[in-house]
Amino acid sequence: MNRAPEPFGSARQPGSHSRPVRYLIGILVAAILAALACGALVFALVPAPVAAEYWVREMLIVKRHLAHLHSKRPKILVVAGSNVLFGVDAGLLSRELGVPVINFGLHGALPLEVLLEEAGRAALPGDAVVLPLEYPYFSGLVSYGPWQVRNDVAWNPDHWRQVPLSRRVAALATMGPGFVREVVQARWQAWRHAADLTPRLHALDDAAILDSLTRAPEPTALAYSAYALDAWGTLRNTEGRVFDGPAAPANLPVCLAPASRAQLAEFVQRSAARRIAVYFANTPWVDSGAVADGSLERADAALCSALADLAPVLDRRVDLVFPRELFLDTYLHLRTAGRERRTRVLLAGLRAHWPILGIDRLATGGGDPQP
């Protein structure tokens, strides 16, 4: 029995249904290869002077220098993000305690491992490190994203290479091809048109930074600048408009994330092996209204208890809830009057835990150590 012929045009061509699939797969593969090529280009060109927070590097170099100036005697380093930069008067502490105290406040978006590495580098046997870390560090909320990538690529390539490959790739994926073009352009400019990048390249030259520090004029207004620091690393001229933005509630529960705890525990252990004492402290909090349900005290006690398993805590959150008019441009930055109040609380905590390792042989009745 003969089969009727199929209508014209209905014959199936071999592989006709798979062509669109192969086409889509080809596009996907090409996109993946292009993304890998872009990523590889960034990896190959690091470091590159892209737009970033170069003032943070300048400040880091100055604070390393200040710590080195006091390397011949025991000292105290107060290390954290900008809450310390604005909120701890290291000169006052130095005079009251009779030992050098360095304000090692930097930027609250720097990864925790960067802060701890800098603290470990600056501290010597017999020193003490105080960590009034911003609460996102404890909660593990300081991620590795575009801000961190930019600054690592621009001026901290050593940390860039330490970050796990998967985290670097994931962060780069959020920045798009525009960042690749910026990296290529920055390297080209640094090679062929360096004058166009003078401020950035200056911030990569340690000697130039320290030379500029010796010639910096007295600041007349608030400036996020290494050249606005005093002899102890504290930012000067912290006056301006009162902070009026949203603030984290003072009774916010702050947990100690497992990854953060592991990093901090390792730092405390390594420090102890080098005879470096480590202490925790609290940041200032904006008073957003009376909290009478005990939640502030519970949040304070919970974090203090978690941290006390690692190292002593010098103060309590309940003593650092300040009125809004004492804050400057963020809920962590204190004006001059607020800084003195916060410093006095920290001073009381340090005195309550005296003596501190190698510092115990120094005068504790106050003095005026030379910067």
CATH number, position 285: 3.40.50.1110
Q: What average pLDDT does range 94-115 have in this prediction?
A: 97
Q: What is the pLDDT of residue 358?
A: 60
**Which pLDDT belongs to residue 16?**
57
Tell me if 93 sits within 8 A of 367, measured CB to CB: no
pLDDT the model gives residue 288: 83
| pLDDT band for position 22 (cuts 50, 70, 90) | confident
Q: pLDDT tens-digit profile of 231-241?
A: 999 999 999 88
Whole-model pTM? 0.89
Q: Average pLDDT, stretch 3-8?
A: 56
Q: Does a structural domain hold residue 2?
A: no
* Assigned domain for 20 exists: no
Share of the chain above pLDDT 90, in %: 79
pLDDT surpasses 70 at 141:
yes
Q: How far apart are CA 200 and CA 185, in angstroms?
A: 14
Is residue 361 over pLDDT 50? no
Q: Report pLDDT for 23.
A: 66
Lowest mean pLDDT among 39-48, 272-281, 306-315: 39-48
Asked if the structure places residue 224 within a domain, the reply is yes
Count the domains in the chain.
Answer: 1
96 is a domain residue: yes
Residue 12 has pLDDT above 60, yes or no: no
| Pairwise pLDDT comparison (203 vs 21), residue with the higher score | 203
Mean pLDDT of 361-368: 49
Q: For position 365, what pLDDT does the model report?
A: 45
Q: Identify whether 126 is part of a domain.
A: yes
Q: What is the pLDDT of residues 206-237, one digit of tens each?
A: 999 999 999 999 998 999 999 999 999 999 99
Average pLDDT on 306-320 reads 97
What's the whole-number average pLDDT of the chain?
90
Percentage of the chain surpassing pLDDT 70? 86
Query: What range defines the domain where residue 225 resides?
Result: 55-135+209-359
23 or 56, higher pLDDT: 56
Average pLDDT over residues 144-161: 97
Give the up-direction half-sphere exposure of residue 353: CA atoms within 13 A in the CB hemisphere.
Answer: 22
* Average pLDDT over every residue of 154-174: 94
Q: For position 360, what pLDDT does the model report?
A: 57
Q: Which of 59-63, 115-119, 290-294 has the lowest mean pLDDT?
A: 290-294
| Among 82-91, 229-238, 361-370, the least confident range | 361-370
In a domain, 214, yes or no: yes
Q: Does residue 35 belong to any structural domain of this protein?
A: no
Q: How confident is the model at residue 362 (pLDDT cuts 50, 70, 90)?
A: very low
Statement: residue 356 has pLDDT above 70: yes
Domain presence at residue 340 = yes
- Which of the two residues, 136 and 25, has the higher pLDDT score? 136
> pLDDT class for 243, splitting at 50, 70, 90?
very high
Higher pLDDT, 41 or 347: 347
